């Protein structure tokens, strides 16, 4: 198989990222510039600000990725870029830059679906660790701030194909973590802080009723040709349940106090958040996390059984969650199913996964025409 050095560029949300990866299996550099500080005061990503930040960061980030890898613009074989899904204005920054680069250097340009990138983050690391083999079909749960999607992935020759067998009907899991953290005055993004705070709370303290988190599966009505069910998720109800719990248990004054205390600290550390949380909040976040994790794990494993998956991938920002990993490992082992996660830096948005997902397209010469554009709602479909 021929070798290829691919420069990957990612700008779909609030991370400006560039990476150089050899043949989908060796990371030569991986640079991520996070805009968290810019969006923190707003408790979420502000699209207009994200585009502006990408514009400022893209050039230095790409230059650093090349320098770290010991490569130059001239020495890479292809440029890969995220086409979607994501914020249109943010995507356009990376895409325009990648296009200009490919045109000026006369190199192939490869358009990558961000969700395919998350799936290939797992493969990239497994290959890097010497594990070349994976049994198909792979069931991949892509669980992030924008997505909670289940894909059945197959490899035919060098090309990959994906069938969506479930997705969230409303909020994505990461979005629920972010919104609950915002309600509780815990800053942005919510996932990492809830992950750490939950260790200090009782996950059985608050009970969430199952209709608040469960969505009936579309049995036989999905797009699966053979009428097998789709496994849908729903996380807007649990966010409302948290809001109600705050109201009925009188947590608002403690939240207001915490917001004020944290806003007085320039860069709050985990200890500051912990010190600002009374037991009721710690129990609430731990119970919320437990409910999310149990639903994600149960639904994914049920889908694995119905679709006879041979391997499980769990990827995307929420895959960094410690309890999610632990529960998946335990439950998958009971089902005799191997489960793989990316390392934490490759779980959240990065460009190494984009460069890795581009390699099979480089092999099959699946290059993007110069008139292609960003697609905010790009779907991952069968090839």
C-alpha atoms less than 13 angstroms from C-alpha of 327 in its C-beta half-sphere: 19
| Residue 28, number of CB atoms within 10 A of its CB | 20
Report in angstroms how near the CB of residue 315 gets to Zn ion at its nearest: 9
Site string for ligand KG4, 316-345 (x = CB under 6 A): xxx-xx------------------------
First-to-last C-alpha distance (Å) of the chain: 21
Pick one of 8, 146, 201, 203: the residue that binds ligand KG4 (CB under 6 A): 146
User: Using CA atoms, how far apart are residues 256 and 367, in angstroms rounded to an integer?
Assistant: 52
Secondary structure (3-state) at 299: helix
**Minimum CB–partner distance for residue 90 and ligand KG4 (Å):** 11
Any residues with CB less than 8 A from the CB of 330 and at least 6 apart, and which? none
* DSSP state string for 202-255: -TTSSPPPGGGT----BTTTSS-TT-PPB--B--HHHHHHHHHHHHHTT-HHHH
Binding to ligand KG4, residues 8-37 (CB under 6 A): 13
**Which option in ligand KG4, Zn ion, none does residue 192 bind, with CB closer than 5 to 8 A by kind?**
ligand KG4
105: how many CB neighbours lie within 10 A of its CB? 15
Instruction: Kindly tell me which of 163 and 178 has the beta carbon lying closer to ligand KG4.
Output: 178
CB of 312 to Zn ion, least distance (A): 19
Question: Is 349 near Zn ion (CB under 5 A)?
Answer: yes
Least gap, CB of 281 to ligand KG4 (angstroms):
17
Q: Label the pairing between strands 138-143 and 311-315.
A: parallel
- Closest contact distance (angstroms) between CB of 85 and ligand KG4 is 9
Q: In the complex with ligand KG4, which residue's Cβ is closer, 62 or 142?
A: 142
Distance of CA 165 to the CA centre of its chain: 18
Residues 322 and 324: their CA atoms lie apart, in Å, by 5
Judged by CB, which is closer to Zn ion: 31, or 66?
A: 31
If binding is defined by CB under 6 A, does position 237 make contact with ligand KG4? no
Residue whose CB is less far from ligand KG4, 295 or 349: 349
Least distance in Å: CB of 315 to ligand KG4?
8
Q: Which listed option, Zn ion, ligand KG4, none, makes contact with residue 208 (CB within 5 to 8 Å by class)?
A: none
- Interface with Zn ion (CB under 5 A), residue total 2
* Cα 358 from Cα 198, distance rounded (Å): 37
- The Cα 96–Cα 374 span in angstroms is 9
List the single partner that 195 binds among Zn ion, ligand KG4, none, CB under 5 to 8 Å by kind. Answer: ligand KG4
Encoded one letter per residue, x for contact with ligand KG4 by CB under 6 A and - for no contact, window 152-181 reads ----------------------x--xx---
- Identify which of 63, 98, 14 has the alpha carbon closest to the alpha carbon of residue 350: 14
Among 35, 144, 198, 347, binds Zn ion (CB under 5 A): 144
Q: Which residue lies nearer to ligand KG4 by CB, 35 or 144?
A: 144
CB of 370: closest distance to ligand KG4 in angstroms? Answer: 27
Interatomic CA distance for residues 164 and 256, integer angstroms: 42
Which residue, 295 or 349, has its beta carbon nearer to Zn ion?
A: 349
Cβ distance to Zn ion smaller for residue 112 or 242: 112
Cβ neighbour number for residue 337 with a 10 Å cutoff: 19
- Closer of 90 and 101 to ligand KG4 (Cβ): 90
Number of residues that bind ligand KG4 (CB under 6 A): 19
Three-class SS of residue 372?
coil
**Sole binder of ligand KG4 in the list 190, 222, 229, 342 (CB under 6 A):** 190
User: Closest CB to Zn ion among 90 and 291?
Assistant: 90
The closest alpha carbon to 26, from 119, 129, 118, belongs to 129
User: Rounded distance, CA 285 to CA 276, Å?
Assistant: 14
* 192 is a contact residue toward ligand KG4 (CB under 6 A): yes
Q: Which residues bind ligand KG4 (CB under 6 A)?
A: 13, 144-146, 174, 177-178, 189-192, 195, 316-318, 320-321, 348-349
């Amino acid at each position: 198989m021929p070798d290829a050095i691919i420069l990957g560029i990612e700008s779909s949300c609030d991370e400006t990222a560039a990476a150089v990866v050899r043949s989908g299996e060796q990371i030569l550099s991986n640079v991520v510039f996070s805009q968290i500080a810019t969006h923190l005061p707003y408790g979420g990503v502000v699209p207009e600000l994200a585009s502006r930040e990408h514009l400022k960061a893209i050039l230095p980030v790409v230059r650093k990725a090349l320098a770290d890898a010991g490569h130059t613009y001239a020495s890479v074989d292809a440029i890969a870029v995220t086409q979607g899904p994501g914020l249109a204005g943010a995507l356009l920054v990376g895409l325009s830059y990648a296009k200009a680069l490919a045109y000026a250097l006369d190199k192939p340009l490869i358009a990558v679906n961000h969700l395919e990138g998350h799936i290939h983050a797992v493969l990239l690391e497994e290959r890097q660790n010497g594990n070349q083999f994976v049994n198909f079909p792979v069931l991949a749960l892509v669980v992030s701030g924008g997505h909670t999607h289940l894909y059945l992935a197959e490899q035919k020759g060098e090309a990959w194909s994906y069938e969506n067998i479930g997705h969230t009907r409303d909020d994505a899991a990461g979005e629920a973590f972010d919104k609950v953290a915002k309600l509780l005055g815990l800053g942005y993004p919510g996932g990492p802080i809830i992950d750490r705070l939950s260790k200090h709370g009782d996950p059985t303290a608050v009970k969430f009723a199952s209709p608040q988190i469960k969505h009936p599966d579309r049995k036989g009505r999905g797009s699966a040709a053979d009428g097998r069910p789709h496994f849908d998720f729903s996380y807007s109800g649990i966010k409302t349940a948290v809001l109600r719990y705050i109201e009925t248990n009188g947590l608002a004054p403690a939240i207001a106090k915490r917001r004020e205390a944290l806003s007085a600290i320039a860069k709050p550390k985990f200890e500051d958040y912990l010190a600002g949380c009374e037991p009721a909040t710690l129990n609430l976040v731990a119970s919320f996390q437990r409910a999310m994790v149990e639903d994600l794990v149960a639904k994914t494993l049920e889908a694995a059984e119905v679709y006879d998956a041979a391997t499980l991938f769990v990827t995307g920002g929420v895959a960094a969650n410690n309890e999610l990993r632990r529960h998946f490992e335990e439950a998958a082992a009971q089902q005799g199913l191997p489960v793989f996660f990316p390392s934490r830096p490759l779980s959240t948005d990065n460009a190494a996964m984009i460069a890795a997902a581009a390699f099979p397209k480089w092999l099959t010469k699946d290059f993007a025409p110069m008139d292609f554009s960003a697609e905010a709602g790009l779907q991952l479909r069968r090839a």
